Structure 1
Amino acid sequence: MNWFYLAVAVIFEIAVAISAGNAKGFTNLKWTIATLVSGAIATFFLSLALLSFDVGVGYALWTSISGVGIVVLGSLFFGQHLTFQKILGILLIIGGVVGLRLSGAA
Structure 2
Amino acid sequence: MRGYVFLTISIAGEIFATTMLKLSDGLTMLLPSAGVVFGYALSFYCLSLCLKTVPLSQAYAIWSGAGTALTALIGAILWGEAFSTMKILGIILIIGGIFALNSSSSEETVKEPFH
Q: TM-score, normalised by structure 1?
A: 0.91
Q: Deviations over 1:7-26 (max 9, x none)?
A: 11001100011001111111
Structure 1 equivalent of residue 112 of structure 2: none
**Of 35-44 and 69-78, the range deviating more from structure 2:** 69-78
- The RMSD of aligned alpha carbons is 1.4
Runs (5+) with no aligned partner, structure 2: 108-115
Runs (5+) with no aligned partner, structure 1: none
Q: Deviations over 1:1-52 (max 9, x none)?
A: 1111111100110001100111111110111100000110011110111111
Q: Deviations over 1:29-84 (max 9, x none)?
A: 11110000011001111011111122233222211110101001111222112111
Structure 2 equivalent of residue 53 of structure 1: 54
Structure 2 equivalent of residue 5 of structure 1: 6
Matches within 5 A, 1:20-99: 20-99=21-100
Percent identity between matched residues is 27
For residues 81 and 25 of structure 1, the distance between their equivalents in structure 2, rounded to whole angstroms, comes to: 22
Which structure 1 residue ranges, 4+ long, deviate > 3 Å from structure 2? none
For residues 82 and 21 of structure 1, the distance between their equivalents in structure 2, rounded to whole angstroms, comes to: 18
Q: TM-score, normalised by structure 2?
A: 0.84
- Structure 1 residue 102 displacement after superposition: 1.9
For residues 92 and 8 of structure 2, the distance between their equivalents in structure 1, rounded to whole angstroms, comes to: 19
How many residues of Structure 1 are paired with residues of Structure 2 in the alignment? 105
Which protein, 1 or 2, shows the higher relative CO under an 8 Å CA cutoff with sep ≥ 6?
Answer: 1
